[in-house]
Amino acid sequence: MAPLSKGVVKKKRVGVAKKNGLDKKKSVGEKRSKPKALRADEKKKDAYKRKAPDNTWKPPRYEPPLIQENHAHDPWRVLAICMLLNCTTGKQVKGIISNFFDLCPDAQTCIQVSSNVLEEEIRSLGLQHKRTEQLKRFSREYLGENWTHVPQLHGVGRYAADAYAIFCTGMWNDVEPKDHMLTRYWEFLQGTRGN
């Protein structure tokens, strides 16, 4: 192989990402782009509205199941899971989720649990202080009557709002998720028409 000329930097290939069936090589230093924040008009989508009591949507099973599937009956849990998944992996969250929901089975309990106890429970995910503050504030707002759409709640961005639409309201066809795992599930729903 010929030596590189002065000033040329060779990028080391570190992985392959599939997009639209094509392999795209990622290089060192190449960052994943963050999904754009929801625009004001997007935040008011019907898919993100507070779930109606008569909504009986039950998402179909996917293999391997996403963490949210087992908790789709409780919108607070789905949104809390999304907050725990931020800046970490599904494998890490799966390792603590059972104990987390034993400690905080609902929003009211999450508010009442000592911050120190909650931080210790989620320590393995990192950012435990920030996550604890976020979960407690989100839980207080969730229990309030002042919200109509989930993006109004503290800590709920595009990823959590899309997961809510997919797993809780059943309005999966009204969103197009940007997260890779939600996209896989969304494509599965497209193929099965949600059945």
Q: Which residues are catalytic?
A: 179
Residue-by-residue DSSP string for 97-119: HHHHHHH-SSHHHHHHS-HHHHH
Contact (CB, 8 A) for 14 and 28 = yes
User: What would the two tokens of residue 34 be?
Assistant: 């963050």
User: What would the two tokens of residue 149 be?
Assistant: 């759409």
Question: Which position has the token pair 């009442």?
Answer: 112
User: Can you count the helices (H) and strands (E) in the chain?
Assistant: 7, 2
Residues 164 and 24: their CA atoms lie apart, in Å, by 30
The CA-atom distances, in angstroms, between 133 and each of 52, 107, 139 are: 28, 13, 10
Residues 78 and 155: their CA atoms lie apart, in Å, by 13
Task: Using DSSP, state whether 14 is helix, strand or coil.
Answer: strand
